Structure 1
């Protein structure tokens, strides 16, 4: 099997509802889709997404530099392809736009590899379980307490047993009141996770997490700027509340820096950001080697295959409004039953994009993008 042609497009999809966390105001989701055609009958499809910045750059990197290197390659040699492309871009940066571009390619490579074997992706990757837990996640910091409680009640009625909510309100006791209200709804048996989106300094985080420990969170996600490792280790040691990181980390070396400094209890690699499945598996192995579980960040449609394949994966995240179906990229809604999801049993990953819907939102190379800043200024 040889790759004969690489097709790539980038899209900027308007969200049905605009979202705001403690640091970010999101109006669009950007998407890069790669299609690998072969000399046989199979075609592999891969993708990566961003919160609204960077898809055009990843698209340019793929089309201008990486696609020509893929033609003639055997997609079954995913390690060879990954290393060649990553090293080709390494001088430009070992993460960020580089790994956003590489992720879309690598997922397409694995789609082809699984199709060639006639296996669903999760079984090709290891097949540790048939289905996995899903937790309900939403960008809900802007909701009133009453609105937040209503949202969680609906999620609970849909069968979810685990929930993640945003924290980072101006006052610590405002966050606590909201978290207590949610805890009252889900009960002692419900699993509650908190996400600060890198909002706090170390002194703030020490105070806030001690206050929020009252609601028994499974973890607090991204309490500090992700570039700062030593403060995470100090925070973890001082509070005793599990700390989760990884949404903003881009390769196994960045994850290892956290692991070796004792700065994380739970790793949250995003398959779209770390360079795809090939690199995600290495990050999961790092966690397994030192007893740290993996909680895949977002990317539910691929994360379900990864979590079903790996014994140290905890669950997957359904970010309401940001899964592929919710922002209009696919026509098939995720089949979540009583808080669990089963990966597709068709060969490959089974994701089919709504091409005609995507075309309406095509990013034109070199064209200026009208948008507002993604990150909110610091208060």
Structure 2
């Protein structure tokens, strides 16, 4: 079945908490969706997330799509486009005027799997339907009380692995946060830290060593130094054999390939574009490098995680998007489950279109209250001591 139509929807709403790291601070959701519709009315859904600035008005997003993207999709077979390899040259090596690339990949794979009548993870060749999930706070800008409340709730929900943000100019604050996390999570929980490139290579070596000297076991250290400092990353791998270096989040597909070829990371961090992530995952599997699946909108990345043998973990950050879809991914007792519905299983709800679609750009002050959180954070228990 061929692609016959499309639909663009623009969303904008307040977040229920400030998220961010040592480099950025974010308090709004800016999200647009692309739905590709085949001749039988089946829909493939993809997402465009803008972290820092509102998306243009919906009419402008649609204009860019109509002029720059739709001519290459109209009348095409989804699975053929999903597998197509392009070799852009010269002036053709450019992005569209709005960042549709990931959304198109996801929508094509969703629609192709639906046409085949398979869940996306099965369509990608998986032999499992769940992977471990860890609770990620995006917590750098939370005060200590909110930090403890957040991770206490995650622990009560059954998570047993937790990632926190470090890289504060005052290293004592980083150490204090590690102590606080251990107070509100069960003994023998796993801990990861993410510096978002805040450190130099030598500084990272010293600080990671100090954390260990204080008796803290860290499963991995994420993006401790600049993404292109392959020599520094290799030095860190040698200097800190008691933990793993997790890098690659900020690199494009060519940069991730170079990172793997250089042997500059213990783990490769990937995110959303299905085609790109599958190719990287195959390469990582060939050389035995573990892969971690970072944040994807509404956790659609669970399908890729289930299909790649080197993926041991998927990140969940309580970003409060679940109200946008009819049925979100199921998370229970530290596992996330890929649905057995055809495609990736996420369908925009009509209530979301009615209540949260924002065709025109709104100022932050006009967004009103954040949507209620559907993962139980509204009924927050008091933070409690480690048990």
Verify the 8 A CA contact 1:82 1:278 in the aligned structure 2. Answer: no
Please provide the CA RMSD for this pair.
2.8
Cα distance in 1 for residues equivalent to 2:211 and 2:97: 37
Verify the 8 A CA contact 2:128 2:307 in the aligned structure 1. Answer: yes
Q: Report the CA distance between 1:244 and its aligned residue.
A: 0.9
Aligned match for 2:332, one of 329, 332, 337: 337
2:71 is matched with 68
2:216 is matched with 215
Partner deviation per Cα, 1:180-206 (whole Å, 9 max, x = no partner)? 332354355211110112222233322
1:48 is matched with 48
Cα distance in 2 for residues equivalent to 1:311 and 1:200: 31
Aligned match for 1:247, one of 225, 235, 249: 249
Aligned residues: 357
Verify the 8 A CA contact 1:137 1:165 in the aligned structure 2. Answer: yes
5+ residue gaps in structure 2? 366-387
Instruction: Quickly say closer, same or farther: Cα 1:27–1:149, change in 2 above 3 A.
Output: closer
1:91 is matched with 93
2:152 is matched with 153
Partner deviation per Cα, 1:266-306 (whole Å, 9 max, x = no partner)? 111111xxxx2111100111111111111111115211111
Verify the 8 A CA contact 1:121 1:305 in the aligned structure 2. Answer: yes
Cα distance in 2 for residues equivalent to 1:217 and 1:107: 33
Instruction: Quickly say closer, same or farther: Cα 1:354–1:160, change in 2 above 3 A.
Output: same
Q: Give SS of 1:76's match.
A: helix
Partner deviation per Cα, 1:98-136 (whole Å, 9 max, x = no partner)? 894221011111111111111111111112212221111
Instruction: Quickly say closer, same or farther: Cα 1:304–1:89, change in 2 above 3 A.
Output: farther
Instruction: Quickly say closer, same or farther: Cα 1:232–1:284, change in 2 above 3 A.
Output: same
Verify the 8 A CA contact 1:10 1:59 in the aligned structure 2. Answer: no
Q: TM-score of the superposition, structure 2-length normalised?
A: 0.83
Q: Give SS of 1:295's match.
A: strand
Partner deviation per Cα, 1:305-350 (whole Å, 9 max, x = no partner)? 1112222111211112x2522xx53354542111112111111111
Cα distance in 2 for residues equivalent to 1:99 and 1:268: 24
1:362 is matched with 358
Mapping of 1:345-360 within 5 angstroms? 345-358=340-353, 360=356
Instruction: Quickly say closer, same or farther: Cα 1:350–1:334, change in 2 above 3 A.
Output: closer
5+ residue gaps in structure 1? 373-379
1:288 corresponds to 2:285: yes
1:128 is matched with 127
Verify the 8 A CA contact 2:10 2:33 in the aligned structure 1. Answer: yes
Verify the 8 A CA contact 1:196 1:223 in the aligned structure 2. Answer: yes
2:192 is matched with 193
Q: TM-score of the superposition, structure 1-length normalised?
A: 0.84
Q: Report the CA distance between 1:58 and its aligned residue.
A: 7.7
Q: Report the CA distance between 1:54 and its aligned residue.
A: 7.8
Instruction: Quickly say closer, same or farther: Cα 1:58–1:201, change in 2 above 3 A.
Output: farther
Verify the 8 A CA contact 2:136 2:162 in the aligned structure 1. Answer: yes
Instruction: Quickly say closer, same or farther: Cα 1:20–1:75, change in 2 above 3 A.
Output: closer
2:372 is matched with none
